[in-house]
Amino acid sequence: MRYLRDEELELALRFLFLSMAMVVIRQDIVHIQKGSFRIKEPYMLLLEKMNADAANERKYVRKMMEKKNIRVTTLNKNDSFSTFLFTCQGLEEKRNYFNPVIRKKVEVIIKELMRRALVPTQQHYASAEI
């Protein structure tokens, strides 16, 4: 049975997938640091900006979740599915997600963070002289 309202579920899912995106970004930072990139700085700056933006958004989402008394807990993970428990005002709801779907949702958030991080740079290019 469904207990969470749409906006509560949306908030909890944003927190969950944003947290996963931050893990991926941090792992990418480590790979670039250890990798054989000749010029690492632009990639590092982009990923660090993305991570900072994600952390700020997650902090805001966490505050909203605390106000509404919403929690997300990972119950189970296997090769195909991950199960999460969503708690809101004493009501609990379990949801199973197909791991490739989770991956796609995290990818969408990473692309969104990348677009946000690049916006000032793109405006700079428009005004730059070649």
Beta-bridged to residue 93, according to DSSP, are 86
User: What average pLDDT does range 5-13 have in this prediction?
Assistant: 93
φ and ψ at residue 109, rounded to 5 degrees: -65, -40
pLDDT confidence tier of residue 10, bands split at 50, 70 and 90? very high
Residue 10, Cβ neighbours under 10 Å: how many?
11
Q: By percentage, how much of the chain surpasses pLDDT 70?
A: 91
Q: Given this model, what pLDDT does residue 76 score?
A: 95
Structure tokens at 51: 């991570």
For tokens 């199973």, the residue is 96
pLDDT confidence tier of residue 129, bands split at 50, 70 and 90? very low
Q: At what angle do helices 41-68 and 99-127 cross, to 10 degrees?
A: 120
Full-model pTM: 0.86
CA-nearest of 18, 11, 45, 31 to 110 is 18
For the chain, the structural domain boundaries read 6-127
- DSSP H stretches of helix in the chain: 6-34, 41-68, 99-127
pLDDT in tens, 53-96: 999 999 999 999 999 999 999 999 999 999 999 999 888 999 99
Would you say residue 128 has pLDDT above 80? no
Would you say residue 122 has pLDDT above 70? no
Q: How far is Cα 95 from Cα 75, in angstroms, rounded to an integer?
A: 10
Would you say residue 127 has pLDDT above 50? no
Q: Given this model, what pLDDT does residue 46 score?
A: 96
